[in-house]
Structure 1
Amino acid sequence: MTAVTVPQPLPVVPPEPYSSTKSAITKVPITLDCTLHDLYSLDNDTPGNIVLAYDYPCKFPHDQLNSSPYPRFLYAANFPGTNAEGEMPNLQKRGVAQRYSFVAGRTPVLMIDLSGNEGEEISSLLTTSKDELRRLYDQLSPEQRPNAQIVRSTHDVQLTPDSRAVFIVPRDHMCAMLDQALEPEMLYEVLSKRWLAVSGLPTPKSKVIDPLPVNSWTAGRDAEVRRMLQAVQQQSFPFVVKVSIAASGYGTFVIRRESDRGTAMKELRSLLEDGLKKVNEENEQLYPASFVIQELVPGEAHGVTFFVTKKGRAVYLATSRQRFTQEGFWNGGCVSYLLQPMFQDRYRSTIEVLAKALHNKGYYGPVGADVMTDANGEHVIVDVNPRVTGSYHLGLLKTHFMQRGLCEAAVLSRLDIPSTQIAFEELFAADIAQGRLIINAWVTDTKKESNHAVLTVGAEDAVKLGRLIRVIETFVKTGEYAESAEL
């Protein structure tokens, strides 16, 4: 049976009184319990060849790129918010790269920027991007700071011949640039909702809706869209529809009534019309346009994070509660460190069976899974993300927070900050100095008019954590530091 490594209990110091003093205080370096470098080294004879590679577009508008008219790896383009006009897609990609690489440790990091070289502002943009990364990583202890380089072409890549890249998701242009540690078609498959539905793992009752082979669309693409949507039209309430390749709640529709069905049908039609245009005989075996109809399990899903070593051993990190926007999109998670032994024991068998299934496919690396308990008291897996997830770092910050008497922590995502990073750090100087507040990502648009951040906060208990979250959320909404939110 696959062993699950449990972090040892830590000494807890008496909590310090909460303070919101705005005076500048020297920062204390953050030390992670372990990093991705440490985790990839477990059960691995060649750990030093792993390289983490991320999309990191700096230029906007980007130059016209010569992309393939027949991409192999397809991702839905019409999710709400993902087709936003302007610079937002660039900022989102850089923000993801920052927060995921925050836990890289000494594993080399490549920030791949293929947004173009035209224009006089390139030098300034690169300087700004490098400053963003330096300021982010400087929060960490020196021995855990990632060694990141911004790569603007294949010629910029400086790696040893045996280096193998790990991606969040496989993309054609990145696969063409670098040799990979994981087979990209396999990674694309296990990242899909379809794989989980057909894997044989404990899941809610699921039905996979696949397109017919391209050469059998005798009645045309529109007819194929209508055929696939019939399953949604005929399904009885309540149920969930999940686009196969999606993340953070995008492409997931909870359907309890006829009005929900109508909204989902409209958005699914748009997604299918866009997706089926790009499906061809070369990529259809990857099922990029499939979706899953799933039984709706009532209750709260727990986000469980762990690492699958190269030999298939599961290393437990943490279990967190999810935070969602009113629209149903993921925007963070909360963790109770004192409850982790209980959660680790509760989900031990689920973690082990999932780790085995992924390892049998050829996967090793970070994993996040959403687990629920059904009406029969059985644990069911409702989502799997074989990659670093938005709350993955919470399990690696246990010692940092617990040694300061902070037993609760939360990651806050999708924050549009109404100030510069310097001004924000001055305002929350005491929280940063006490180790209560960590910046996991901070990106600024090219006009230096908007700032987007991911923050992690800690507190002695859930009540004080809620107070600090309200202080930050009030500042995000109003631009004011509302100390009354602490009361």
Structure 2
Amino acid sequence: MGSIVPDIKLPTIHLDTTLAELYRLASPRNANRRLGLVFCGVNSALDLSPNFPRNTKYLYQDSPFNTIPRQHLTPSNITLQKSLATKYLSLIPQRDAFIAGRAPVILFNVDTSPETIEHDRREAEATISVLDPSQRPELVFCPGPGSIPIKEYGIDKIAYKIVLDGLKKYPLTHDLETHWYLNSKAALALSGLPTPRAEIVEAVGFGGEKGECCEICVMPGGKEGEGGGELVVIPGGCTGNRGVWIREQMERVVGAIRKREVPFVVKNQQTFGGAGTWVVTTEEEKAELLRGMESEEGALRKLLSQVTAANHHLKPGSIIISDLVKDPIGDYGLTFVVTEEGEAIFLAASEQMIDESNAWIGSTINYEHQEGLYEKFKPLMERTAKWVAQHGYYGPVGIDILETETPGQTDSHTGEQTAYHIVDLNVRTSGSLSLPLLKGHFASRGLSCASSFSVTVKGTRRDFIEKRKKEFESGKMIILSWYEDPEVKDSIADVVVGGEGEKELQRQMGRVRDATEEVTF
């Protein structure tokens, strides 16, 4: 990175451990196999590039899927496609590549132009260049999931963050269907782990092929089935079997929500990027949610329209309605690694950060609190690890936990009395996974707290670093991922900031956020 900011001397970053080392610990029998890592995101609304089609079997609902009108979810919407591609194919995988260690990391090009292909490489190489050479990953670029060069790079197996339809032909560390299920909201509700009481409203069957339906459905426009193409939604005016089916399934969901007393939480079966969750605390919010669910352009109709013969057994159209945790006194993000034997390797527990106005401003890790938090959550962590391993998974896991003042304050789905409620389970790398691996880096500088977050920057990487020269040279601030739009010189980035204590960290974060914007996935 010295070539980008030659007059600033950035410290070499040495991680406490890496994902490659943790995978070897998690599976000793695979320790000598060359593991390739795929960290990109995906959605089911829009192809990310000509070589990266949307998921049609393993459905994910991110913010664009849920909120953008169907007519805008087309390949002609170049602005949206570019925005999603830069976040999902560069920003997210760079962030995990930073902590990957000595392993091949597969990255997919944002588009097919030679200029962009070279730009993708320069951005990723600049990000990892601050790492100790012994911990830098081997970056492997290719056009899309259908063309991963595993033989050329001697890759024995692939470990992945998110299930991609195109990975099915490769040797994998774990089964695609199993991994998709483990990350589903229904799986958590049925796991036997302590999670708020929930009702699962399942879609029955699927709508059938549009070519065998009514006149409206067989009109030209859009493709269905595997292989991407435009998002096809069963039209409200459909008079065939598909129309009958989707109206019945929508009424099942809408009827269940109507009967539910506030407060409650509604979730899609499978989400990405923090989307697909509706917290309903008032009758007005309930009415607004129902209007959206019943809408022609609503998330529910779009989701149910993607249920097909190929995926209906996965129950991707299920909606989960759960209790809202009552008056939580603690909000934690627990990250650990699950071994093949079902043991848990604790990494960290993050805590929410509150400002002087008692407003939530983000999550932070206080390294001095980790021993106490480990003891606090050890039984729940070990219990979760055993359940995950029973399904054949090993690797990183994150769970979000809300704590109540007394056990049983919120009903558990299992009926047990508990003060610790798992509200989300992510069987994959989390966005804050870098923080525990940077403990030594920050602690050696007297920095007891750290936080990572995403920002939009008006300017280049060089501009950003030069404005914060002192923080970067001292090691207080690190870029985990960066992607600059070469045309307008705007950038999106993930950064991590360290502080001597929570107040100092809050001040450092405020300075960054005052000069940037939050990234919305």
Q: How high is the TM-score relative to the length of structure 1?
A: 0.84
Q: Secondary structure at 1:132's aligned position in 2?
A: helix
Q: Specify the alignment match of 1:45 in structure 2.
A: 29
Opposite residue 73 of structure 1, the aligned amino acid is Y
**Unaligned 5+ runs, structure 1:** 1-21, 325-329, 479-487
**1:100-152 residue CA offsets vs partner (Å, 9 max, x unmatched):** 22110012111133x654xxxx2211111111111100111111111111012
**1:391-412 residue CA offsets vs partner (Å, 9 max, x unmatched):** 1111111111111100011112
Q: Secondary structure at 1:45's aligned position in 2?
A: helix
Q: 1:151 and 2:142 equivalent?
A: yes
Opposite residue 131 of structure 1, the aligned amino acid is R
**1:214-248 residue CA offsets vs partner (Å, 9 max, x unmatched):** 37979331231122111111111111111110134
Give the 5 Å matches for 1:98-137. Answer: 98-113=94-109, 117=112, 122-137=113-128
In 1: Cα distance, 2:431 partner to 2:9 partner: 27
Give the 5 Å matches for 1:305-384. Answer: 305-322=335-352, 333-374=363-404, 375-376=406-407, 378-384=419-425
90-99 vs 261-270, greater mean Cα deviation:
261-270
Q: Secondary structure at 1:106's aligned position in 2?
A: coil
Give the 5 Å matches for 1:77-476. Answer: 78-80=65-67, 85-93=80-88, 94-113=90-109, 117=112, 122-152=113-143, 154=146, 157-159=149-151, 163-176=156-169, 178-214=170-206, 219-269=244-294, 270-297=298-325, 298-299=327-328, 300-322=330-352, 333-374=363-404, 375-376=406-407, 378-413=419-454, 415-476=455-516
Deviation (angstroms), 1:322: 4.3
In 1: Cα distance, 2:371 partner to 2:302 partner: 45
Opposite residue 342 of structure 1, the aligned amino acid is G
The higher relative CO (CA closer than 8 Å, separation ≥ 6) is in 1
Opposite residue 151 of structure 1, the aligned amino acid is C
Opposite residue 53 of structure 1, the aligned amino acid is V
Q: Secondary structure at 1:361's aligned position in 2?
A: coil
In 2: Cα distance, 1:45 partner to 1:65 partner: 34
Deviation (angstroms), 1:74: 1.3
Q: Secondary structure at 1:219's aligned position in 2?
A: helix
Q: Secondary structure at 2:503's aligned position in 1?
A: helix
Opposite residue 371 of structure 2, the aligned amino acid is P
Q: How high is the TM-score relative to the length of structure 2?
A: 0.79
Opposite residue 46 of structure 1, the aligned amino acid is N
Q: Out of 57, 72, 76, which is 1:72 matched to?
A: 57
Deviation (angstroms), 1:331: 8.8
Deviation (angstroms), 1:277: 1.2
Q: Secondary structure at 2:168's aligned position in 1?
A: helix
In 2: Cα distance, 1:37 partner to 1:97 partner: 15
Opposite residue 80 of structure 2, the aligned amino acid is E
300-309 vs 74-83, greater mean Cα deviation:
74-83
Alpha carbons 1:37, 1:104 under 8 Å: kept = yes
In 2: Cα distance, 1:342 partner to 1:227 partner: 45
Opposite residue 398 of structure 1, the aligned amino acid is K
In 2: Cα distance, 1:172 partner to 1:267 partner: 29
Give the 5 Å matches for 1:5-44. Answer: 24-42=7-25, 43-44=27-28
238-247 vs 345-354, greater mean Cα deviation:
238-247
Alpha carbons 1:237, 1:256 under 8 Å: kept = yes
Identical-pair percentage: 27
**Unaligned 5+ runs, structure 2:** 74-78, 208-240, 355-359, 408-417
In 2: Cα distance, 1:331 partner to 1:348 partner: 27
In 2: Cα distance, 1:66 partner to 1:105 partner: 26
Deviation (angstroms), 1:278: 1.6
Alpha carbons 1:410, 1:456 under 8 Å: kept = yes
216-225 vs 398-407, greater mean Cα deviation:
216-225
| Aligned-pair Cα RMSD in Å | 2.8
In 2: Cα distance, 1:438 partner to 1:304 partner: 22
**1:418-463 residue CA offsets vs partner (Å, 9 max, x unmatched):** 1110111111111111110010111122524320011100010111
Change (3 A) 1:116 1:436: closer
Deviation (angstroms), 1:23: 12
Q: Specify the alignment match of 1:13 in structure 2.
A: none
In 2: Cα distance, 1:347 partner to 1:335 partner: 15
How many residues of Structure 1 are paired with residues of Structure 2 in the alignment?
A: 442
